[in-house]
């Protein structure tokens, strides 16, 4: 049996708004040179802190690098812009909304 939402009266399967917000977000990926010639990859433009935190943790594991998540911005150590774009596409973000 399908669960019915109490507020809308629609099946809960139809109310997956997570994919809709992913399609409308404008994500910016850029590589920035820091001190002593080191590079960092900055991923910004997320609407929710939780989404940025989840993706930051996943990216650090997949790319085997250090990094941090501050608010809605992910900072990864090293040059990872191509890999970040591939990961975001697999996660459901639109290719034309990712500025890498």
CATH code assigned at 39: 3.30.780.10
CB atoms within 10 A of CB 68: 12
Sequence-separated (6 or more) residues with CB below 8 Å from residue 51: none
Give the percent of the chain with pLDDT over 70: 93
CB atoms within 10 A of CB 41: 24
Please count the structural domains in the chain.
1
Asked if residue 18 belongs to a domain, the reply is no
Asked if residue 44 belongs to a domain, the reply is yes
CA 61, CA 4: separation in Å to the nearest integer?
37
Supply the pLDDT for residue 39.
Answer: 96
| Per-residue pLDDT reduced to its tens digit, 66-87 | 999 999 999 999 999 999 999 9
Q: Which pair of tokens denotes residue 60?
A: 């650090």
Question: Are the C-beta atoms of 97 and 24 separated by less than 8 Å?
Answer: yes
| Per-residue pLDDT reduced to its tens digit, 27-40 | 999 999 999 999 99
Strands 98-99 and 27-33: parallel
pLDDT at 24 over 60: yes
């Amino acid at each position: 049996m399908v669960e019915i939402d109490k507020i809308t009266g629609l099946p809960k399967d139809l109310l997956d708004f997570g994919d809709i917000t992913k399609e409308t977000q404008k994500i910016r990926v850029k590589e920035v040179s820091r001190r002593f010639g080191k590079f960092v990859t900055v991923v910004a433009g997320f609407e929710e802190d939780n989404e940025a935190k989840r993706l930051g943790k996943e990216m650090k594991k997949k790319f085997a690098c250090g990094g941090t998540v501050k608010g809605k911005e992910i900072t990864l150590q090293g040059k990872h812009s191509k890999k970040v774009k591939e990961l975001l596409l697999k996660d459901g973000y639109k290719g034309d909304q990712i500025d890498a």
